[in-house]
Structure 1
């Protein structure tokens, strides 16, 4: 199974503040949907609770310490290890946040799909630092800001060499 972390993070690794994204990048949302559709998506409870509804065509796996937490259409687990165990038959699974879950998942991850938002933002959730000695950048695609995107951003794909 390939474990892929997917995120949008600023140059200072900011992810969000008060359980909300700091920016609105429609093309990044489209890319997220294209990459994660028909896969398991693993996230923390706080990240899950920011969604207005379940994301279509994906199996939601929510990690929480709350023993009695239940949501319709969602697999609730107590740890990242439980989430990975639940998804062990999958070819690829996606870790979609938040900051704590990314930090826990980094040692297990095989791939990182990162949208680097060019700017520095005040935040309370951060993506872990990518150690360039352990990760290899295999793809980079720059997009400048336009009428729909307030910030320049770059799609980056990293893999952990075997």
Structure 2
């Protein structure tokens, strides 16, 4: 398997990705997809996103935090202060790198992404953080998508799209 850098996120119909530094919905089927996709790989996020997760490490994933704070230190986490050091780390190992947020991290890594996996939630929810408007999804072609219907555990319909960077 060839390793790759992949952005993975969920958004509502208006591009909402967060509220109060947390996900503004609870979709167990989408969370299961996220877990299965990222398991045994590395996940990269900003410190604010990590704080929003209660600084909880996700099992069986290597956690990378990109922060401007050079003094940041967290047990069980790889801390980076710039994009170049993250990319150097990525080149030196064999895992996929999943970029999981937040907004500034998605923007910073757009030029380096091989793929994106976006969950489009078919609803409008209240939020205060939006996926970057200037992120150019037209650089990626949809290779597959899967629709999930709402049910007793998942309050919204959603579609997961798998997109690969177009050949130049």
TM over 0.5: yes
RMSD: 1.5
1:125-161 superposed Cα distances (whole Å, 9 cap, x missing partner): 2223464532101111111111101111001101112
Alignment map for 1:16-95 (pairs within 5 Å)? 16-52=18-54, 53-88=56-91, 89-95=93-99
CA distance in 2: counterparts of 1:100 and 1:22, whole angstroms: 18
Gaps of 5+ in 2: none
What CA distance in whole angstroms lies between the structure 1 residues aligned with 2:114 and 2:131?
16
Greater shift in the superposed pair: 61-70 or 127-136: 127-136
Given candidates 109, 119, 129, the residue that maps to 2:113 is: 109
Partner SS state of residue 139, structure 2? coil
Unaligned runs of 5+ in 1: none
Q: Is the 8 A contact 1:40 1:61 kept in 2?
A: yes
- Deviation digits for residues 56-112 of structure 1, max 9, x if unmatched? 111100011111111100010002332221121234211011111111111211101
The answer (yes or no) to whether the contact 2:42–2:63 under 8 Å persists in 1 is yes
3-state DSSP of counterpart to 2:40: coil
SS of the residue 2:106 aligns to: helix
Match of 1:148 in 2: 153
Structure 1: distance between partners of 2:82 and 2:13? 29
The answer (yes or no) to whether the contact 2:149–2:157 under 8 Å persists in 1 is yes
Give the conservation status (yes or no) of the 8 Å contact 2:22–2:53. Answer: no
Aligned length: 162
Q: Structure 2-normalised TM-score?
A: 0.90
Give the 4+ runs in structure 1 shifted more than 4 A: none
CA 1:71–1:145 in 2, change beyond 3 Å: closer, same or farther?
A: same
Which protein has the bigger helix share?
A: 2
Aligned 8 A contact 1:80 1:101 in 2: no
Query: Do 2:27 and 2:154's aligned partners in 1 also have CA atoms closer than 8 Å?
Result: yes
